[in-house]
A and B are shown apart, each in its own frame.
Chain A
Amino acid sequence: MKNIKVTIDKKEVEVKQGTTILDAAKSVGITIPTLCYLHLKDFNITNRPAGCRICVVEVEGRRNLAPACATECTEGMVINTHNIRVLNARKTVLELILSDHPTDCLICAKSGNCELQTLAHEFGIREIEYQGEQSTYKKDMSPSIIRDVDKCIMCRRCEMMCNEIQTVGALSAVNRGFTSVVAPAFEQDLSCSPCTYCGQCVAVCPTGALTEVDHTNQIIRLLADPTKTVVVQTAPAVRAALGEEFGLKPGTSVTGKMVSALRELGFDYVFDTDFAADLTIMEEGSELLDRIARYLKGDTTVKLPILTSCCPGWVNFFEHQFPDMLDVPSTARSPQQMFGSIAKTYFADKLKIKRQDMVVVSIMPCLAKKFERSREEFSTDGNPDVDFSLSTRELAQLIKQANINFNALPESDYDAPLGESTGAAVIFGASGGVIEAATRTAYEIFTGKTLEKVDFTELRGLESIREATVDFNGTPIKIGIAHGLGNARKLLERVRAGNSGFHAIEIMACPGGCIGGGGQPLHHGDSSILFARQKAIYDEDKSKAIRKSHENPYIQKLYKEFLGAPLSEKSHHLLHTHYFDKKKVIEIDE
């Protein structure tokens, strides 16, 4: 492709044809403010409604200012990105946006992280000249996500995530003019829509219009209550990202510091969801082997491939979108729920306390877990297995509120017995990790041989859909991996067509897997952060003494003392679940 020359702020720049002014400026270190524009390079998607006009620049010879995010450079263009005309125009744009925006920044959940607030700060806005009517909507509270539509600036980033990346279609721009917002169909609540609570819309919303349900205050109260035993579990992906909230470089693994922080916060037992991830592998892996064994024996009723079921965003997705395939995914609960179930039975028994006196808190990279924990099937006599699920961001908030100097904390170890885990469990946090962990265990059980090389690098990576065949001592096992629900849909459609040839498929709702979860520190579309988190996860796996789930001594003990064997009746009761058809059917009046 041809290169062209343009001049930006008196600097000569050479760029490829088709480059936008925004990108050309960036290539020489000139930043132009943006708001609606969002570019996710590694997911190959750009949100460019060119609606907000905060990015305008002056192109000499043109009458109107041009939006830099949506204007391509042409040969010889002379561009000014910050003369007085441009600065005034941007300020007007911003003031107009602010004239229909609440000014309760002090108490807004996004404060400090809000792109609109940052702009107002950078532009030195001290008063809002345009006093117009303010639109008001009621807050929509779902189990995971709060929609405060008054704060919506119509950038439509959420819509892009939900419709193009996730293909869920829960959100759309509705109405027009002054009353236009992004909302579910018929402006109903999110809980009436096919929303999966993956939280990817929350992760990209520049303002406080979309935030997670915040439970930090309840936790502070419970930690102060001497009658409660408060147990915490931390998901694999949290340790690879939490440090970012304290200024550490992306990819800094903070497992030991996180454990110390949780202890300082006053949790009675600091455990690891990784323990339950090992347990998941025992159950899911056994289910896979069971299906394969039956299939090899000629049983035609057996469902292959088996689909992983540890991601609740994904579970919500197939319950809504593929209700004809509810018998295909594994019945194994997610590690969060397995943990809660074991904590409130096995561990509560050990402590000789009633389940009502135990509070199980989970720290998750995920917003779908908040919904999952509220599912009725995961509670006994109205007492949920997991009482609260906090996001990585909420945990950082708790630590800051408690004035804990995170970076100065010593490293410490998880408590026993539910804190012990293997390398196989850690990699649950990255796309491809669950199936790699399952492969390590399934291989040994299936072949009866020791697996020498535990790294299945062919299953790793960030490509959207990956396929690999693993040799189980003569039996080829075909594995598929998808992350992001749009990719999952593609794979699912192949499975539905019946000729995919896969034996096992891993699906994670969030792009990148849980490291890119909707509850993680915001990465603002910078995928180098995802790569760094992924590396941290695989490094941690490598550093573990035990790297196969079935070799975890505490897992072995749990089966011996309590569960019996994988897929036993007790395991089924405590560790497995069933799915519901949530597709909206139109009532037909005969």
Chain B
Amino acid sequence: MAKIKLSNTKVEQIKAICKEFNNNKGELINVLHKTQGVFGYLPAEVQEVIAEELGVSVAQVYGVVSFYSFFTMVPKGEHPISICMGTACYVRGAEKVLDEFKRILNIQVGQTTPDGKFSLSCLRCVGACGLAPVVMVGEKVYGRVSTDSVKAIIQEYQKEKCS
């Protein structure tokens, strides 16, 4: 696991969030939620600070982080790709689309490409079932995605880099 060093200001920021919740162990999920909102992800060191502040073990904090797929320990890519795995999308081949993304980007769900450009995650129904299967890149929604169109979607964002 990549080790990062936390800056003093970051540590203070985390402490402030914990304090907002009265350093109450019962608020662990809320603290994690808020912290991820600020940092974008929850690396090990951040979890260690939270554990210390709330008086719970790091193992327990990690237990919660690893339980909820919402929490992530790796920074999201510049272009976070989310594939809807809701029922409608699933029956229309979302899994194959996901596999294609995995194959081309060479990463698993929850990971980020080494250049930091793309990350991959799954979502529950995003409410656009008529367009199933649905893929989101950042805020942009792509409907009726087939395995053949995956490459084109990725290229859209790679081009951006060259311009």
Question: Which A residues are within 8 Å of any B CB, using their own CB?
Answer: 163, 168-176, 183-188, 193-194, 584, 586-590
Contact = CB atoms under 8 A, between A and B. Distances in A.
B60 A172 contact: yes
A588 B59 contact: no
Contacts of B11: 586, 588
Contacts of A170: 57, 59
B59 A172 contact: yes
Nearest to B69: A176
Q: Interface centre among A163, A174, A183, A193, by most B CB within 10 Å? A: A174
Contacts of A587: 3, 5-6, 45
Contacts of A184: 59
A174 B58 contact: no
Nearest to A589: B5
16 contacts: A168-B57, A169-B60, A172-B62, A173-B63, A174-B59, A175-B66, A183-B59, A185-B44, A185-B62, A186-B58, A584-B58, A586-B48, A587-B5, A588-B6, A589-B6, A589-B8
Assign chain B's interface to a size class: 20 to 34
A163 B70 CA distance: 26
Q: Interface centre among A174, A183, A185, by most B CB within 10 Å? A: A185
B111 to A, nearest CB: 15
Contacts of A589: 5-8
Contacts of B63: 172-174
B119 interface: no
B98 interface: no
The 7 closest A-B pairs by CB, nearest first: A169-B57, A172-B63, A589-B5, A172-B59, A185-B58, A185-B62, A185-B59
A587 B2 CA distance: 13
Interface string B133-154: 0000000000000000000000
B84 interface: no
Interface in B1-57: 1, 3, 5-8, 11, 44-45, 47-49, 56-57
B61 interface: yes
Contacts of A175: 66-67
A588 B3 CA distance: 12
Nearest to B57: A169
A472 B73 CA distance: 59
Given A174-B63, A175-B67, A586-B45, A163 B57 contact: yes
Contacts, number: 68
Contacts of A183: 59
B67 A174 contact: yes
Given A185-B47, A589-B6, A176 B67 contact: yes
Interface of B: 1, 3, 5-8, 11, 44-45, 47-49, 56-63, 66-67, 73
B68 to A, nearest CB: 8
Contacts of A168: 57
A194 B59 CA distance: 10
Contacts of B66: 174-176, 187
Contacts of B8: 588-590
Contacts of B61: 185
A17 to B, nearest CB: 30
B124 to A, nearest CB: 15
Q: Interface centre among B11, B44, B48, B58, by most A CB within 10 Å? A: B58
A588 B47 CA distance: 14
Contacts of B56: 169
A127 B61 CA distance: 39
A588 B5 contact: yes
A429 to B, nearest CB: 30
B57 A186 contact: no
B58 A588 contact: no
Nearest to B68: A176
A590 to B, nearest CB: 6
Contact of B48 (A172, A174, A584): A584
A170 B62 CA distance: 11
A186 B1 contact: yes
A451 B89 CA distance: 84
Nearest to B5: A589
A171 B59 CA distance: 6
A154 B7 CA distance: 37
Nearest to A179: B66
A588 B7 contact: yes
Nearest to A588: B8
Contacts of A185: 44, 47, 57-59, 61-62
Nearest to B49: A586
Nearest to B64: A172
Contacts of B3: 587
A584 B58 CA distance: 10
B14 to A, nearest CB: 10
Contacts of B1: 186, 188
A194 B57 CA distance: 9
Contacts of A169: 56-60
Q: Interface centre among B5, B6, B47, B57, by most A CB within 10 Å? A: B57
Contacts of A163: 57, 60
Nearest to A171: B59
A186 B6 contact: no
A174 B6 contact: no
A418 to B, nearest CB: 41
B60 to A, nearest CB: 5
Contacts of A171: 59
A421 to B, nearest CB: 40
A514 B62 CA distance: 32
B57 A172 contact: yes
Contacts of A172: 57, 59-60, 62-63
Given A163-B60, A193-B59, A586-B6, 19 more contacts: A169-B56, A169-B57, A170-B59, A172-B63, A174-B59, A175-B66, A176-B66, A176-B67, A185-B44, A185-B57, A185-B61, A186-B62, A186-B73, A584-B58, A586-B49, A587-B3, A588-B7, A588-B8, A588-B11
